[in-house]
Structure 1
Amino acid sequence: MTAWPVTLHSQDGRQPQVVLRPLSMRDKGEWNVVRTENAEYVGQWEPTAPDGIGQRITFRQYVRGLDKEARAGRILPFVIVVDGRIAGQMHLFGIVHGSLLSGAAGYWVARRQAGQGLATRALAALCDHAFHEAGLHRVEVNIRPENAASLRVVEHLGFRDEGIRARYLHINGGWRDHRTYSLTTEDLLGGTVLERWKQQ
């Protein structure tokens, strides 16, 4: 696993620059505004506590917790920045080494910037880092079947459909089915996810 912090860039001369970097304390104001503006839009897809009791933590505790987990090699947490402005977040979490070498990606993009291919480019950059720098073999994404926008992201990148996981995660107040998609290093034939997507 590469040392934390890490910054990733997705360059495309025809589109805005997408940067994945760690969330920092100085992001508090902008991050709070983006999250507040998108609370309902993002909240319908985000995990909730089954007992209905959510743990309230400060922004400082949140950032420190992400950094601690990243330094321990269990997560790669990024904020998505487009042309200098926060547009969402993308994490590779549940990272397991040993004989599995796998992690699961999760992400959200602000409503005003949805549908522009930002999540696709950011996920491609994250996967390429996971495979080529972090030494992982597999990346999976678990998506609710009704989340059409996220389904398009993994389809664009050629993720393999591995089927439904019944009542997999507690989302928005209930246990929800998710469809699992994955990529492994063998799928890339020595190339990158970003290159493969651009060649389609």
Structure 2
Amino acid sequence: MPSPWPLELTDGDLLLRPLRRRDRRAFEALLAENRDWLRAWDATDPVGDRARPPFATLLRWTHQQARARAMIPLLITRRGAILGQVSASPILYGPQSSAVIGYWVGSAHVGAGIAPRAVALLADHLFAEAGLHRIEVNIRPENAASLRVAEKLHLREEGLRRAFIHVDGAFRDHLSFALTAEEVATDASGRGVLRRYLAEHHSDGNGHPGAS
């Protein structure tokens, strides 16, 4: 079934929500602070003279794509602060019924359990609410932090894709990981991936993980 838009997903103090016009200053500051950190992992345009689109263009385009059901682009926030992004794009319906999940958090939040919770929240939504069959994540082999997210969420490694995505000036190899709906025991709340992650990692006493 189509995902509603705008969409919000929550787990305790973690909120995934759409980018808004008033987010411009905080969002651009987070990107600027993490420019060096993101350079090695962030997909880029192989046509080198194409700069990142202005905020207004990005805002308009992501909302258009979300309303067209082609993607789900969400900010990762906690207590009002923007920590990063998680998205499902492209989303394919019909025979494939799948989505590719991408994510990033600022370097200050790496290892704090933010990225796995965000990815798990979105994965559970894609399975339980959007009715998809398969999710996929593609990670550079050098990205140890992102590989740990795949490991913590029990994503199944499917192999190396040579020169798969353009990153930092060249087409780079990526490891592909996947998970299907049949591999997740989803309960009545629709939270199979997140429930498993929370059960397996350190808790703060309220059912939410600490820095793991």
Q: Structure 2 CA distance, aligned partners of 1:56 and 1:85?
A: 23
Cα deviation for residue 10 of structure 1 reads 1.6
Structure 1 residues 76-87: aligned runs within 5 Å: 76-87=72-83
Question: Residue 132 of structure 2 corresponds to which residue in structure 1?
Answer: 136
1:130-166 deviation line (CA, Å, top 9, x unaligned):
1011111111000000100000001001000000001
Moved beyond 3 Å, runs of 4+: none
**Unaligned residue ranges in structure 1 (runs of 5+):** 12-16
TM-score, with normalisation over the residues of structure 2?
0.89
2:76 aligned counterpart, secondary structure: strand
Check conservation: 2:88, 2:101, Cα contact below 8 A.
yes
Match for 1:26 among 11, 16, 22?
22
Give aligned-pair identity as a percent: 42
Q: Structure 2 CA distance, aligned partners of 1:47 and 1:56?
A: 11
**Amino acid in the other structure paired with 1:179:** L
2:27 aligned counterpart, secondary structure: helix
**Amino acid in the other structure paired with 1:10:** D
2:103 aligned counterpart, secondary structure: strand
Question: Is 1:7 aligned to 2:8, yes or no?
Answer: yes
Cα deviation for residue 51 of structure 1 reads 2.6
Question: Residue 14 of structure 1 corresponds to which residue in structure 2?
Answer: none
Q: Structure 2 CA distance, aligned partners of 1:36 and 1:26?
A: 17
Q: Structure 1 CA distance, aligned partners of 2:24 and 2:185?
A: 41
Check conservation: 2:101, 2:136, Cα contact below 8 A.
yes
Q: Structure 2 CA distance, aligned partners of 1:170 and 1:107?
A: 16
Cα deviation for residue 196 of structure 1 reads 1.2
Check conservation: 1:48, 1:54, Cα contact below 8 A.
no
2:84 aligned counterpart, secondary structure: strand
Question: Is 1:102 aligned to 2:103, yes or no?
Answer: no
Check conservation: 1:47, 1:171, Cα contact below 8 A.
yes
Q: Structure 2 CA distance, aligned partners of 1:187 and 1:198?
A: 17
Structure 1 residues 1-200: aligned runs within 5 Å: 1-11=2-12, 17-191=13-187, 192-200=192-200
Q: Structure 2 CA distance, aligned partners of 1:56 and 1:100?
A: 31
Q: Could you say what the CA RMSD is over the residues aligned between the two structures, in angstroms?
A: 1.0
2:154 aligned counterpart, secondary structure: coil
Q: Which moved more, 1:70-79 or 1:52-61?
A: 52-61
Q: Structure 1 CA distance, aligned partners of 2:52 and 2:141?
A: 29
Q: Work out the number of aligned pairs and report it.
A: 195
